[in-house]
């Protein structure tokens, strides 16, 4: 039986590879939608301080059509930036610490052209790679540059004709679904349509603004912390590493059967696997048993609201959900109880919960709202469209997030889809991939726990 152990660490290739930066250009909207400076209001979900971070990731393309991807994407991007012109704006901090978007004629999106003198096939399409190299495939703006240019792109051409599209997008402008919607729109234009199927909708302050008067109906302070001086992304837990491993369907099926046998409940993959990984990480990190630890994730609210958000809304349309335990409770209680807590936490997500959270943000924003320390962030990328962005030669053969900052967590976990595109030299298994960031000192213990999972050893109470 195959096991997880031994195939997880992002390995360093045998030779030192250079990413050669050739040029940086700016793409402007091909049909400028305005001719005077103006500001756009952001929602209280957009300006959550946990989202004051640039999200970085890349897509790998085999380029089976042998097109010129740099020119193709440049042209399509220029057209898309007409309706999506807020991506050319500048984030500005207001009094009271909130943010707004300032839009000025003549601004655009920077795009970097780079090259690598290797074929993607020789690098296994970046499935396993040195972190130093992968970091150079995506722009990495500082805080000031990220506010001035909330989107920066990089296209890196490989010797085989394939390429990597690296994206650095400020999280205050959009969540994963919103970014996916934008890139799928650019891809539509690259494939030859004259107009994107879904037109973007802004209206953030009116659709997701606070009520008058505000009304907070849920005890958010039970798991959130008000501390203006605390920065969740500056926590010092020592060196961190990324590990990536396959998750086979037969392992998951047997684990979910195990949970159902003991609890009488059915669990989704996210609930079941999330519980196991959270427990494995906390156990391996040797966190003191009386320390509070949190499981954090995003719940899509677009269809939960009354009325639902309109089609094309590309701002942050998710609410942060939490499960909180002490480290001792998490590691000592039966695993099915943890999965049940994650499952039941979803039941809170409704229109009133979202409106209350927005009102809570308005009342407490200046105090600094954070989830505190020891937060494990989880997100599922399998179904939000990242793997469907097709510029005309097929979708990406790999999608890799680089950000270690997510929902106040510096140790996020991503569930990643396998490619739907078959390419020579790359074989994907069934199931999906899991990418986990964790403190380096916990790596061996964590992978030992995941190796037990692959061997169907679930005797956890």
Q: Which residue has the higher pLDDT, 425 or 414?
A: 414
Ordered domains of the chain (ranges, CATH) = 20-202 (3.30.559.10), 220-454 (3.30.559.10)
For residue range 2-49, list pLDDT tens digits in order.
445 433 444 445 456 899 999 999 999 998 888 899 999 999 999 998
Q: Which residue has the higher pLDDT, 434 or 418?
A: 434
pLDDT of residue 55: 95
Q: Which residue has the higher pLDDT, 327 or 194?
A: 327
Q: Which of 216-220, 263-267, 384-388 has the lowest mean pLDDT?
A: 384-388
Instruction: Tell me what the mean pLDDT of segment 365-383 comes to.
Output: 93
Provide the mean pLDDT of the chain. Answer: 91
Question: Is residue 323 helix, strand or coil?
Answer: strand
pLDDT tier, 170 (very low <50, low <70, confident <90, very high otherwise): very high
Beta strands in 43-137 (DSSP E): 54-61, 90-93, 99-103, 109-116
Contact at 8 Å (CB) between 272 and 265? Answer: no
Instruction: Tell me what the mean pLDDT of segment 93-109 comes to.
Output: 90
Non-local CB neighbours of 184 within 8 Å, separated by 6+ positions? 385, 388, 389
Q: Indicate the helix (H) or strand (E) that contains 176.
A: helix 176-190
Q: How far apart are CA 296 and CA 406, in angstroms?
A: 9
pLDDT of residue 456: 79
Query: Which of 102, 92, 108 shows the shortest CA–CA distance to 37?
Result: 102
Instruction: Tell me what the mean pLDDT of segment 420-427 comes to.
Output: 64
Question: Is residue 58 helix, strand or coil?
Answer: strand
For residue range 429-447, list pLDDT tens digits in order.
688 999 999 999 999 999 9
* The pLDDT of residue 414 is above 80: yes
pLDDT tier, 460 (very low <50, low <70, confident <90, very high otherwise): low
443 CB-side CA count, 13 A = 19
Q: What angle do CA 13, 14, 20 make, to 5 degrees?
A: 65
Give CA separation, 59 vs 150, 290, 389, 404, 417, in Å.
19, 41, 9, 17, 12
For residue range 139-149, list pLDDT tens digits in order.
999 999 999 99
Q: What percent of the chain has pLDDT over 90?
A: 77
Q: Which two tokens stand for residue 82?
A: 């007409």
Phi-psi region of 238 (alpha: psi -120 to 50; beta: other; left: phi over 0): left
Contact at 8 Å (CB) between 398 and 416? Answer: no
pLDDT of residue 455: 83
Question: Is residue 115 helix, strand or coil?
Answer: strand
25 CB-side CA count, 13 A = 14
pLDDT of residue 423: 66
Task: Give the pTM.
Answer: 0.93
Instruction: Tell me what the mean pLDDT of segment 77-97 comes to.
Output: 92
């Amino acid at each position: 039986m195959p096991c997880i152990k031994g195939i997880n660490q992002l390995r360093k290739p045998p030779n030192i590879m250079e990413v050669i930066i050739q040029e940086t250009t700016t793409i402007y909207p091909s049909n400028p939608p305005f001719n005077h400076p103006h500001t756009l209001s952001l929602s209280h979900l957009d300006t959550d301080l946990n989202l004051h971070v640039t999200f970085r990731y890349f897509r790998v393309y085999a380029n089976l059509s042998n097109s010129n991807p740099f020119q193709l994407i440049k042209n399509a991007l220029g057209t898309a930036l007409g309706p999506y012109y807020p991506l050319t704006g500048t984030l500005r901090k207001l009094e009271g610490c909130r943010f707004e978007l300032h839009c000025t004629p003549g601004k655009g999106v920077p795009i970097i052209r780079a090259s690598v003198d290797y074929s993607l096939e020789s690098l296994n399409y970046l499935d396993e790679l040195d972190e130093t190299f992968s970091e150079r495939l995506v722009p990495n703006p500082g805080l000031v540059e990220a506010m001035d240019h909330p989107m920066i792109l990089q296209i890196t051409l490989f010797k085989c004709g394939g390429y990597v599209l690296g994206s650095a997008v400020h999280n205050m402008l959009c969540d994963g679904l919103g970014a996916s919607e934008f890139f799928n729109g650019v891809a539509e234009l690259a494939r030859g349509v004259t107009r994107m199927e879904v037109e973007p909708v802004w209206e953030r302050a009116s659709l997701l603004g606070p009520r008058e008067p505000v009304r907070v109906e849920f005890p958010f302070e039970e798991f959130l912390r008000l501390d203006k001086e605390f920065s969740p992304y500056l926590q010092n837990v020592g060196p961190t590493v990324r590990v990536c491993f396959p998750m086979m369907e037969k392992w998951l099926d047997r684990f979910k059967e195990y949970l159902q046998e003991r609890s009488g409940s059915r669990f989704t993959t996210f609930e079941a696997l999330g519980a196991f990984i959270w427990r494995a990480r906390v156990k391996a990190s040797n966190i003191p048993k009386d320390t509070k630890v949190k499981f954090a994730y995003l719940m899509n609210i677009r269809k939960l609201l009354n009325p639902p958000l309109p089609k094309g809304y590309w701002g942050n349309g998710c609410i942060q959900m939490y499960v909180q335990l002490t480290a001792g409770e998490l590691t000592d209680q039966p695993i099915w109880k943890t999965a049940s807590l994650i499952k039941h936490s979803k039941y809170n997500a409704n229109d009133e919960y979202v409106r209350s959270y927005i009102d809570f943000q308005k009342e407490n924003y200046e105090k600094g709202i954070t989830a505190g320390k020891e937060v494990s962030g989880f997100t599922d990328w399998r179904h939000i469209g990242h793997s469907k962005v097709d510029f005309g030669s097929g979708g990406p053969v790999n999608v890799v997030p680089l950000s270690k900052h997510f929902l106040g967590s510096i140790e996020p976990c991503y569930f990643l889809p396998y490619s739907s595109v078959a390419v020579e030299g790359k074989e994907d298994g069934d199931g999906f991939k899991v990418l986990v960031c964790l403190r380096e000192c916990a790596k061996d213990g964590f992978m030992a726990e995941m190796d037990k999972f692959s061997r169907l050893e679930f005797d956890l109470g």
